[in-house]
Amino acid sequence: MAEVDIQSLQHQKLKAIYPYICSSPFYEKKLPSNIRNSDFDPALRLSNIPFTTKDDLRFSSPLERTPLNLAEIAAFFSSSGTTGKPSSYVWSKHDQEIYCEISSRILRNIQVNASDVVLLPMRMGMSFSWYGILSEMQQLGAAVIPLGTAATEEIIKGLVDYPVTILKTSPVVASRVIRAIIKDSPNLLNKLKLRQIHLAGYYSSNAHRKRLEKRWGVDCYDMYGLSELGLVSGDCPAKNGQHYCADYALVEVIRPTDFCQASPGETGVAVYTTLWKKASPLLRYWSDDFIYIDESPCSCGMQLPRLFHKGRLVDSIVVGQKRVFASDVEQILFQNDAIADEYRIELFGSRSNCHIKVQAEVEYPIQTAGMEEKLYDLFEVPVVLDQIPLDSLVREKLKPNRISDFRTS
């Protein structure tokens, strides 16, 4: 699908869906009357429409944000709340159909099929993630094992007890499980039927993905989604960016400094507008996730643009005039096999004159000079790489906060 064709289709869909979005009580109240009237063309004047923020969703009810009546609502879900108060939203049968169409495109492209058995070690409940994965796999005929929240030992037991071919989990969990297997049962990997790991729920650098592939001996694919939107994008066999369904979501990349459209290939905040009659429609939703987009053809042949997910706002830090992501640090650290999977970035001093310490667990001592030089080039301020023993850092969270900023203003 050529870029001009995508834009034309998006503009047509947005213009058609715009009255539906504006008919929800939430957007009737939020949008000025001149932006809601029939003469307003949202495709030509998109930048005139105010952003929808996370707080907008947190402090409004799900029924305010839907044009549907109760008879048309199939379910209520909630965001995970990892970055603040959870927000609730409604889900419809039509949402289910669109979600399954989007996910099928991505999953069929990496050869997921009815013969697969999927292990899902994920918390059930109000969060949409488990329900979405269950739905997408059933759509393809694959079997799902809903393990629920599970300790490392329980996940390993699930891999052994069932003919699991796909593990759906976060990069953090995948790292901790394989470390336990290598430490306690290194021959176990040869007995598993596992052929893919789908990584989601947390950012993963390319170096981390390659590290997991090497340790597990299977293909790892990154998947990216939002509770409020569903599955947004996923890796293809080329593993060079995640294809997103541009016919169902208009994705803007906005610079947070001036709120203008980012240049092609420039990193900015992902802003989403839904292009179907979603039960909880989104209009210019400011996600706080940083991405950049590549419209060039992909070697896999899939005719959809690709996005590259850098991380959430809380996974980044501004040093001087430069925004640095934890994934950028990870990309440097994980090129050395002696550095383990857990690390922490600490900033000291003032915002105008700071220094940085990166704590990294190590398998064995290494020479740090070369890596400190790479980290200096990244941050453009002095960086000390502090080698610490394995298991020194706290492992309580599945979405760990890698950054601690102790700078004074």
Rounded CA-CA distance 357/361 in Å is 13
CATH number at residue 391: 3.30.300.30
pLDDT of residue 4: 56
3-state secondary structure 95-135: HHHHHHHHHHHHHHHCCCCCCCEEECCCCCCCECHHHHHHH
Domain boundary among 175, 208, 240: 240
pLDDT of residue 81: 67
- Asked if residue 234 belongs to a domain, the reply is yes
- Asked if residue 313 belongs to a domain, the reply is no
- Asked if residue 345 belongs to a domain, the reply is yes
Rounded CA-CA distance 172/365 in Å is 23
Q: What is the number of domains present in the chain?
A: 2
pLDDT of residue 398: 67
Residue 144 forms beta bridges with which residues?
118
The residue behind tokens 């989403």 is 272
Which residues form the domain of 387?
320-405
pLDDT of residue 83: 64
Q: Which two tokens stand for residue 218?
A: 């299977």
Q: Which two tokens stand for residue 246?
A: 């541009």
pLDDT of residue 125: 84
Count other Cβ atoms within 10 Å, centred on residue 363. 12
The residue behind tokens 């029924």 is 63
Rounded CA-CA distance 23/280 in Å is 11
For residue 109, give the nearest of 308, 300, 307 by alpha carbon.
300
| pTM of the predicted protein model | 0.93
Residue 294's φ and ψ, nearest 5 degrees, are -120, 120
In a shared domain, residues 230 and 89: yes
pLDDT of residue 3: 56
In a shared domain, residues 234 and 328: no
For residue 208, give the nearest of 336, 87, 22, 98 by alpha carbon.
336
For the chain, 409 residues long, the average pLDDT of each consecutive 10-residue run is 76 94 96 88 91 94 96 91 80 95 95 97 87 92 93 96 96 94 93 96 88 97 90 94 94 95 95 96 96 93 92 92 94 95 95 94 93 96 95 79 91
In a shared domain, residues 326 and 213: no
Count other Cβ atoms within 10 Å, centred on residue 29. 9
In a shared domain, residues 217 and 325: no
pLDDT of residue 394: 85
The residue behind tokens 């759509």 is 139
- Asked if residue 391 belongs to a domain, the reply is yes
Handedness of CA 253, 80, 403, 59 (dihedral sign): positive
- Asked if residue 287 belongs to a domain, the reply is no
With beta carbons less than 8 A apart as the criterion, state whether 358 and 383 touch: yes
- Asked if residue 93 belongs to a domain, the reply is yes
pLDDT of residue 142: 97
CATH number at residue 147: 3.40.50.12780
- Asked if residue 366 belongs to a domain, the reply is yes
In a shared domain, residues 32 and 158: yes
Q: Which two tokens stand for residue 228?
A: 């409020």
